[in-house]
Amino acid sequence: MPKIAAIATAVPEFKVEQATVCEIVSNHFSGRLDELKRLLPVFSNAGITTRYFSRPMDWMVQPHSLEERNKAYTHCATNLSAAAALKLIEQNEMSPEDFDYIIYVNTTGLSTPSIDARLINKLSLRPDIHRTPIWGLGCAGGAAGLAHAYRYLLGHPEGKVLLIATELCGLTFLADDYSKSNLVATALFSEGSAAVLLAGDKVDIGGMEIIGTKSTFYPDSLDVMGWNIVSKGLQVIFAQRIPDIVKEHASKDIDDFLRTHSLSLKDISAYLFHPGGTKVIKAYETALDLTNNELSLSWDILSEYGNISSVTVLFILERFMNQNRQGSDGYGLITALGPGFCSESMLIKV
């Protein structure tokens, strides 16, 4: 079976304490809309200690055109993606020419040529490399990118895939958007990049086998998560009912998925769930009756990095792989939610 062989991550240069973000945003909104003041506790309740951004906070709170934001995105995403990829290549003693296929995942900026094309030049990847940019899957994008690589490798067992997910959520902050969704997003989202090496089963390399994947689409839920494309940039859509959807559907969806592989939750030893926020993590714990800190990695990564959209689940996966280099018994479950509204899940052998 195809396998996840290695992961490397990178964060941008500006590390910011959550309390500092709260203070800056509070000052920015002060005197504008008094009703938003009651929402400021979302910063302290977010379960986040630090986050990373590609631009300083004083840049973030200034008004910028879509053109300015996108120039910043293209420049920063290219460099941050390259940093993660080069780290992956060096740590695994590879050559850039080893990759047959590059997949680039994001939802926080636009670029044509896409970032993967820029990386082919910057990293000196092969000129005949296959490539697929994936845009618009939001927080589900990292898990979906793994699934795309898995399906490619099923048909190309000698192949090696470079999956890169890079999100610059801070660049989407709209300084004159005083909506609750914008404030909540400002309290949660962060920036970072992850590069993943996946390989077919004929490649002589270690890693975690991918057993199967599942995509689930929830009809009539387009308003749950996404963007409104406005003249100044990307305006966040972030519904309150996401934890309720988790509580309602997660147990059955995951049980059905595991049953197709003759497994159940008792066979899962590693829960690698995207932390959409504290309420989402708690909703998973309730829905799946997780009582022994099974989602500790989700809590830890959320605290240390915030929600990096599609990238977050790959940070969790990297942390898990680093902590389990000797291997362990059982199976791992990767899950993330995204616009659509949808979920992406993957079963791995750990």
Amino acid (1-letter code) at residue 251 = S
In the 8-state DSSP scheme, what is residue 130?
Answer: E
169 is catalytic: no
Dist CA 66 CA 84 (whole Å):
26
Dist CA 161 CA 201 (whole Å):
12
Tokens of 283: 């909703």
What contacts 82, CB < 8 A, 6 or more positions away?
A: 119, 122, 123
Dist CA 123 CA 85 (whole Å):
8
What contacts 264, CB < 8 A, 6 or more positions away?
A: 255, 258
Q: Where does residue 293 fall: left (phi above 0), alpha (psi -120 to 50 degrees), or beta otherwise?
A: left
Tokens of 137: 């899957």
Dist CA 95 CA 115 (whole Å):
20
Per-residue b/e over 14-45, b at no fewer than 16 CB within 10 Å? bebebeebbebbeebbeeeeeebeeebebbee
The one catalytic residue in 22, 76, 139, 342 is 139
The strand ranges marked E within 158-201 are: 160-168, 191-199
* 339 and 226 Cβ atoms separated by less than 8 Å: yes
Q: Where does residue 344 fall: left (phi above 0), alpha (psi -120 to 50 degrees), or beta otherwise?
A: beta
* 204 and 333 Cβ atoms separated by less than 8 Å: no
Which residues are designated catalytic? 139
